[in-house]
Chains A and B, each alone.
Chain A
Amino acid sequence: MKPLSAVVVSVGVALLGTTLTSCSSGDALVVYNAQHEQLMEELVPAFEKETGIDVELRNGSDLELAAQLVAEGKKSPADVFLTENSPAMAAVEREGLLATLPDDVTAPIPEQYRPASNAWTGFVARSTVLVYNTDEITEAELPASLLDLAKPEWKGKISFSPTGADFQAIVAGVLATEGEAATKTWLEGLKANGTVYDGNNVVLESVNAGKVPVGVIYHYYWYRDQAESGDVSDHSKLHFFGNQDPGAFVSVSGAGVLASAEHKTDAEKFVGYLTGKTGQQGLADSYALEYPLNPDVQLDPPVKPFAELDPPAVAVSDLDSDAVVDLMTEVGFL
């Protein structure tokens, strides 16, 4: 009996060993990437070519990777952390796990898109938009403010994806500008009025298919589909709130270097590449259609120019993901 189990177990261990070694790395720069995988796979090779530094991407979602960094603490193998939205980055910063970035790395990015601490920096941004089905609703009927969607006349007409980090960043924006009580009332209105989907893609597709007239998403989902095929966007249009409305909230994707990073210089080079002109131009030219934050680089039309968005003034370090999750649990979205 014993020898048998020993044989079986050692075969198992040997097999596991092979699978394990196949994904561990030597001296590469380890990037915990919560940004879209496809975008980083476009940018990283250019960086590797320019600098000769090898990069290993580990992909996940904002909160998942943030939680993992917190769990791993100082022993984390990560050198760089990239997020889709800033609240997850702020959570890691609160744990004191981020190193201060050198000035030349953050300098290309306007001050309002990075925290005063310089513990991380924004590198791309996405705008909140309302997507509407052009057969179901006319431009004149569209709401003036994102907050209007909580009103009874929108019952059964709106959709959104409250379980994702994207929508939660939008809620964090509302929370920062409107305060807790107003945000809670607004969320309760949304809960009463809305259809909940999982994922912005699903919201876009459902609006386009006419299942619901309008949906709250980020701008690039619609533009990307337009650029690719129009399959899930041809029956819909985007409505930008502007006027510093909470619905014009711009969410910032963050990049930071871990204090425990083994390859700190390379890590800073990588973040510097993302904020610098070459990297930002690469972002702008990619399929992503997210807004570069370096003012030297602009997205091409038809994407609405970044300068015309007129977002509300929200300090990126004021966005509190924990408070948002609590509120959304209270209201019953989670």
Chain B
Amino acid sequence: MPALAGAIAAACLLPVAYVLWSTASLGPAEAYDFLVRPRIGELLWNTGRLLVGGVGLSVVFGVSGAWLVERTSLPLAGWWHGALCAPLAIPAFVNGYAWVATTHAVQSYLGAVLVVSLSYYPLVYLPAVAALRRLDPSLEEVAASLGKRPREVFLRVVLPTVAPAVLGGALLVGLHLLAEYGALQLLNYPTLTTAILQQYGAAFNGPAATLLAGVLLVACLGLLALEMLARGPARRARVGSGTARPATRLRLGRVTVPVVVALAAFVALAVGLPAASLVRWLVRGASAELDLASLLPAAGTSVALAAVAGVVATAAALPVVWEAVRRRNRWSLGVERIAYVTSALPGVVVALALVTVAIGWLPWLYQTLPLLVVAYVILFLPRALVAVRAVLELVPPRLEEVALSLGLSRAGAMRRVTLPLLLPGLATATAMVALAVSTELTATLLLAPIGTTTLATEFWSEASSVAYGAAAPYALALVLLAMPATILLGRSSRGEAR
């Protein structure tokens, strides 16, 4: 079992090893010539300011939304919560398409920042809502009793307690922005990732694409380090969870109407506009006849790939989590951590690594679906890890011991006692990975065997050639696929029953 877990971690490290190895094999002079030139500066500047703007705006959207929903007298807060979660169901590249198909004005820095923030702010909003829910109001009352005014209480008590959740969300937004291809390509905003795919299209798997992947890798690791620094050594533990009452909500009073109007306008931009654009093009595209002959096989492939990758990722997560939970030593925790870190890598880096490895050493694997599944597993393993860990932690080893003492074999105890208890977690893990896979674009573009189409690749081939009407049915199918996960996440963030 430790060997299995180690092998899985090694597979996850493959992309990093590939980037390091191929950069090293290039020779410093050549690498220097390629990296130190205006084009790279341009890409770094574009990527950097998109990160600052996109993460900043997502935090503003996410935190203010969460505060309004959880801490004010906003009418119909539950309904607004649903509306604010809804953008999660619209993959960023579909959102980019919807905007560009409506107005070309978004093809600029500010437009790109706005569109990606509208796509990714829920990654801040959800943890912020969860943190505000968990926050025991007695802390605030203590501060108030010590003479702090409401504003000070918010700044010195509420904000610091919510900060780690917001920071974690901001990190996720940053990593997504670094990896984003489809939306930014449609918004005509070049970043490192779009440049890698263009390089790949022009010169295939040349050294240039690899070097750019190296730069992107450094940017990702830099972001992870930055988040750790910002988190700092402060500890925010408390003994016992207590029984928190719902927090007192700020009375909006006379500003209720303006706040509701502003929120409605925001939801109109984040959900209404993409939905309207989709419907408009769907209607227009329908006149050009719906191409079911390509839609159905693409949907079939998407679903089959998602199911297989979901099952394989869950199977891979099991030994890793088992080691980390049941053995709990430095090695097993390290293995688990590695899987998390590599998932921060953009799909394009993982895909390039697998292309190189397959062409060089495993030619029989090149241009096959199993290779694509491997990429999905590396990219989305953490989603399975989280779900499997959540259930395994709740299964006491004692149950198995009892089963063993009653004469069951190890395998028998596993099959008849542990497995049934794990099953809900395994199902969640499979579903989470499957949903992520069904809307994945970049790795799929590079690794899908020629002739194999998925909803995402078909959507992309239409949308990127400005066939907006033809792209609409695929966009709709992608949104429908992402819906269940959105509902699940929206509910669990507010601690509601699943």
List residues of A whose CB falls within 8 A of some B CB. 1-5, 8-9, 11-12, 15-16, 18-20, 23, 32, 56-61, 63-68, 71-72, 75, 163-165, 168, 196-199, 201-202, 204-206, 209, 211, 232, 325, 328-329, 332-334
- Nearest CB of A to B237, in Å: 33
In the complex, which residues of chain A have a beta carbon less than 8 angstroms from the beta carbon of B467?
Answer: 201
10 A-B interface contacts by CB (under 8 A) = A12-B311, A16-B308, A56-B451, A59-B450, A59-B451, A65-B450, A198-B198, A209-B104, A325-B206, A334-B39
In the complex, which residues of chain A have a beta carbon less than 8 angstroms from the beta carbon of B199?
Answer: 334
Considering the complex, give the chain A residue whose CB is closest to the CB of B465: A201
Cross-interface CB contact of B464 among A1, A3, A59, A198, cutoff 8 Å: A198
Among B208, B311, B319, B322, which residue has the most Cβ atoms of chain A within 10 A? B311
In the complex, which residues of chain A have a beta carbon less than 8 angstroms from the beta carbon of B208?
Answer: 329, 334
In the complex, which residues of chain A have a beta carbon less than 8 angstroms from the beta carbon of B465?
Answer: 199, 201-202
A274 to B292, CA, bound (A): 28
Among B315, B319, B449, which residue has the most Cβ atoms of chain A within 10 A? B315
Considering the complex, give the chain B residue whose CB is closest to the CB of A7: B315
A11 to B465, CA, bound (A): 38
A332 to B37, CA, bound (A): 8
Contact B450 A68 (CB under 8 A): yes
- Nearest CB of A to B438, in Å: 14
In the complex, which residues of chain A have a beta carbon less than 8 angstroms from the beta carbon of B104?
Answer: 206, 209, 211
Nearest 10 Cβ contacts at the A-B interface: A67-B204, A332-B39, A8-B315, A58-B451, A201-B466, A163-B198, A58-B450, A19-B304, A201-B465, A15-B308
In the complex, which residues of chain A have a beta carbon less than 8 angstroms from the beta carbon of B308?
Answer: 12, 15-16, 19
Cross-interface CB contact of B201 among A4, A15, A23, A61, cutoff 8 Å: A61
In the complex, which residues of chain A have a beta carbon less than 8 angstroms from the beta carbon of B451?
Answer: 23, 56-59
Considering the complex, give the chain A residue whose CB is closest to the CB of B206: A325
B83 at interface (Cβ–Cβ under 8 A)?
no
Using a CB-CB cutoff of 8 Å, which residues 397-418 of chain B contact chain A?
A: 410-411, 414-415
- Nearest CB of B to A22, in Å: 8
List residues of B whose CB falls within 8 A of some A CB. 1, 4, 34, 37-39, 42, 104, 185, 188, 190, 195, 198-199, 201-206, 208, 301, 304-305, 307-308, 311-312, 314-315, 318-319, 322, 359, 363, 366-370, 373, 410-411, 414-415, 419, 449-452, 464-467
Contact B38 A332 (CB under 8 A): yes
Number of A-B contacts (CB under 8 A): 129
Contact A19 B305 (CB under 8 A): yes
Contact A3 B415 (CB under 8 A): yes
- Nearest CB of B to A303, in Å: 20
In the complex, which residues of chain B have a beta carbon less than 8 angstroms from the beta carbon of A1?
Answer: 1, 318-319, 322, 410-411, 414
- Nearest CB of B to A277, in Å: 30
In the complex, which residues of chain A have a beta carbon less than 8 angstroms from the beta carbon of B414?
Answer: 1, 3-4
In the complex, which residues of chain B have a beta carbon less than 8 angstroms from the beta carbon of A8?
Answer: 311-312, 314-315, 318
In the complex, which residues of chain A have a beta carbon less than 8 angstroms from the beta carbon of B202?
Answer: 63, 163, 165, 168, 325, 328, 334
Contact B204 A63 (CB under 8 A): yes
- Nearest CB of B to A79, in Å: 14
Contact A71 B366 (CB under 8 A): yes
Cross-interface CB contact of B419 among A4, A12, A56, A205, cutoff 8 Å: A4
Beyond A20-B368, A59-B451, whether A163 also contacts B205 by CB under 8 A is no
Beyond A18-B304, A332-B42, whether A198 also contacts B185 by CB under 8 A is yes
